[in-house]
């Protein structure tokens, strides 16, 4: 589940265990 989409396809996702990860799609 992505919270913030940046640039074109990068999303900063906040997971349930409060880790921040980067995904390619929103």
Closest CA to 10 of 20, 19, 25: 25
DSSP classification of residue 23: E
Q: Is 15 left (phi over 0), alpha (psi -120 to 50) or beta?
A: beta
pLDDT of amino acid 20: 72
Beta pairing partners, 13: 2, 21
Q: Can you give the pTM of this predicted structure?
A: 0.24
Domain parsing of the chain, residue ranges: 1-26
How many C-beta atoms surround the C-beta of residue 14 within 10 A?
13
Express each pLDDT in 1-26 by its tens digit.
556 766 666 677 766 777 777 766 65
């Amino acid at each position: 589940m992505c919270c913030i989409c940046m640039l074109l396809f990068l999303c900063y996702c906040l997971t349930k265990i409060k880790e921040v990860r980067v995904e390619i799609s929103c």
